[in-house]
Each structure stands twice: as structure tokens, then as C-alpha cells.
Amino acid sequence: MTALPSKPTPRPGVLDIAAYVPGTQDVTGRNRVHRLASNETPLGPSPAAIAAVKASADHLQLYPDGSATMLRTAIAAQFGLNADRIVCGAGSDELLNLLAQAYIEPGDEAIYTEHGFLIYRIAILGTGGIPVVAPETDLTASVDAILAAVTPKTKLVFLANPNNPTGTYLPFSEVRRLHSGLPGHVLLVLDAAYAEYVRHNDYDSGIELVATSDNVVMTRTFSKIHGLAALRLGWLYGPADVVDAINRIRGPFNVGAPAIAAGAAAIADQTFVDTAVAHNEEWLPWVTRALEQLGLTVTPSAGNFVLVHFPDADGKRAADADRFLLDRGIILRRVAAYGLPNALRMTIGDEEANRDTVEALRAFLDTET
């Protein structure tokens, strides 16, 4: 007879998880800090969203609408979708975890790409699944590598498009090729957290593919361009069967009333979104050129951030740059956990933050070691 453990034991896979570590949030002793580590918008939230949150404060004693009907209706109106095929969650992170919980059994496999979002691995392991990493080509997802990794045990494929932290993306023709090569029982999860920022004609967030397929879902977030990161709010658009499964296991009040109100106001404020897009269109190329002029390598990005690669030289590596910047109140994101130990991710900030960061990196590179 097998001896029972002497204390509660987590399910297989849980203790294999390296807990997600957010980017540095603050630097003490500084009056002015540039937070460019978490891809937060420099514009803040929509004034309409702020007003909606303030109005909801008068009713905090009441449970929220467990179906987030107002928010789902607002999203559906904005994108021309069926509200019944939308699920809202506490950030897209919750929805990604719920998808893994619903479709992965212990021993099943799920695929994500080499430098894909860390939450995918955490979600897979948390269900007892086996993470399978597909190699990338030039820091970009490879359809051929993903398809080559599919086995009879594969249940999910996670694809961030654009990807965080690289900023690279797959054109929609490649996404379609990926989908057509997957068996029907494999669920393709398109994580489109940065979709609003993409300005490429060959890109699509995946709405059309979801609408015409039984095994594709798309997740989106209010944390980036809408500036509602503090409220933890995301949404999923999927086939009716997938939506039904997620609704059966999600918490009955998983989205708070302030978040529902703010999200409905934010999604309808297209003027604010357009302003945020215009800001990124101006400063993403400016930051990219400025950093390249310093001699740094920058991965071309379709999001609101850039991946900056540092020289492999004593005193000039990413870790050295990070310490130098932190001493000056500038916070970028270390990405060693993504397999990129000699790179930093820089969010596109306001004009002052962008210029200050470039000048600080100029000083760093000019410093003798």
C-alpha cells in the first residue's frame, strides 16, 4: 500500500511553475520615475472610463452583473460581434488560464513559441499539462515549427500576435495556414493583446477566423491601449461551445462592477483609442531610430514597445544597462525569463520618458568600463 503524504500536496506540474515576476514598479528616492517596464499606456485611461468608475462607487455594496451584459454588449457593438459569444474576465490572463483548465487534462500537451508570453507555460503546468515549446525564426513565430510540434496529445496552441516581449507578428495568411494545418480537436488561442497598435495591412486580430471556425478563440485586454490595467479586465471571443465551457467554470462574479462600467465606456471611446494609436505611430519609429543610432539592435515591433539588444561585452550587457537606468529612475523590463538575457524591453512612453531613456542609454554606452 502506497503511503499517503504527510501534508497537502499540489497536483503534478504546480511546483514546476516559476511564478510570474512582474516588472519593477518603482524606484525609491526619485521625484520623477519613468515606468517603461509593463507596456502601460502613457496616456492614462479614457476620461469616460474614469467617470464610469467614479459613478460605480456609489453602488459598491451590490454584486456586479455576473454575465457582464453591459460590457459584452458594448464590445459586440464596437466590433460587430454576437455578444453571446463573448466572455469577460479579470484580465486576459484569467481567460487564458480558464481555457487551459477547460481543455487540458494531466498528460496533455499544449504548444507555445520560444519567446511567448510566460503565462502560457504557467497555465499549462497548472492543469497538469505538458508545455511544448516551438522554436522561433528571427524572434518570430514559425508556423512550420508549431505544426511540427503537434502530436496526438496536443490540445491547445497559444499564439501571441503580436508577441510579447519581441513585438513581432505573423501576417494573417500565416495564421490561416497554421489553423488549416491543425487537427480539428486542437484549440488555437490567438492572444491579440496588442492588436489595436498594429499598423500593418497584412495583420488581422483573428475575429474573422473565430467567426468561421469551431476551434479558434481570440483574447483581448483592456490593460494596454485602453489604460485600465489596474482594473484587470479582458475578453474572449470564441465558438459557442468554447464559450459555454468557459462560462461553466469561471467565477460567477469574476469581473467587478467598476471594471464592467469602465470597460463599456472605454470600448466606445474611439477618439481616445485613435489618440493612443497616433501617439504610438509617432514615437515607436522615433525610439527605434534613436536607439539604432546609438548602435543598439532593436527588433522591429508591431506593438507599443521595443525589444532592445545590448552588446555582449563586459559592462555593456543588458543587466548593466538595467542597473544604470534604475539609478536614474528609468525602469525597463528584464526579459531573461523569456530566454533573452541580453535584452531589455522598453515601453513607448510620453515624450519626456522616451527622450530621457535614449539620452540615458547614450550615457551608458559612452561610459568606460
The segment(s) of the chain belonging to CATH 3.40.640.10 are 47-269
Distance CA 105, CA 253 (A): 25
**Residue in the block written with cell 522616451:** 354
pLDDT digits (tens, 9 = 90+) for 143-170: 999 999 999 999 999 999 999 999 999 9
| 199-208: average pLDDT | 96
pLDDT digits (tens, 9 = 90+) for 263-272: 999 999 999 9
| 194-216: average pLDDT | 97
Q: Quick check: 236 pLDDT over 80?
A: yes
Neighbours of 368 (CB within 10 A): 4
Give residue 11's pLDDT band: very low, low, confident or very high (50, 70, 90).
confident
pTM for the complete prediction?
A: 0.93
Most distant CA pair in the chain, distance: 68
Q: Quick check: 360 pLDDT over 60?
A: yes
The segment(s) of the chain belonging to CATH 3.90.1150.10 are 14-44+271-366
Q: Quick check: 82 pLDDT over 80?
A: yes
Distance CA 236, CA 238 (A): 6
Q: Which amino acid is at 121?
A: R
Distance CA 296, CA 309 (A): 6
Q: Quick check: 27 pLDDT over 90?
A: no
Give residue 15's pLDDT band: very low, low, confident or very high (50, 70, 90).
confident
Give residue 8's pLDDT band: very low, low, confident or very high (50, 70, 90).
confident
Q: Quick check: 192 pLDDT over 90?
A: yes
Residue 228 near residue 49 (C-beta atoms within 8 A): yes
Q: Quick check: 189 pLDDT over 70?
A: yes
pLDDT at position 112, please?
Answer: 98
Give which of 355, 369, 283 is closest to 319, Cα–Cα. 369
| 183-187: average pLDDT | 97
**Cell (9 digits) for 291:** 536607439
Domain 47-269 has CATH 2.60.40.10: no
**Cell (9 digits) for 165:** 516581449
Q: Quick check: 29 pLDDT over 80?
A: no
Q: What's the CATH fold of domain 14-44+271-366?
A: Aspartate Aminotransferase, domain 1 (3.90.1150)
Q: Which amino acid is at 278?
A: A
What backbone phi and psi angles, to 5 degrees, belong to 200?
-110, 135
Chain CA centroid to CA 107, Å: 26
Give which of 254, 257, 263, 276 is closest to 40, Cα–Cα. 276
Handedness of CA 268, 271, 274, 280 (dihedral sign): negative
Q: Which amino acid is at 82?
A: N
Per-residue 3-state assignment (H helix, E strand, C coil) for 229-253: HHHCCEEEECCHHHHHHHHHHCCCC
Angle at which helix 351-366 crosses helix 270-293, to 10 degrees, equals 20
- Indicate the helix (H) or strand (E) that contains 144: helix 143-148
Give residue 25's pLDDT band: very low, low, confident or very high (50, 70, 90).
low
Distance CA 181, CA 176 (A): 9
pLDDT at position 17, please?
Answer: 72
Count of all residues that appear for the chain in the document? 369
| 35-54: average pLDDT | 97
| 13-24: average pLDDT | 72
Q: Quick check: 19 pLDDT over 90?
A: no
Distance CA 9, CA 7 (A): 6
Per-residue 3-state assignment (H helix, E strand, C coil) for 60-114: CCCCCCCCCHHHHHHHHHHHCCCHHHEEEECHHHHHHHHHHHHHCCCCCEEEEEC
- Mean residue pLDDT across the chain: 95
Cis peptide before 311 (omega within 30 of 0): no
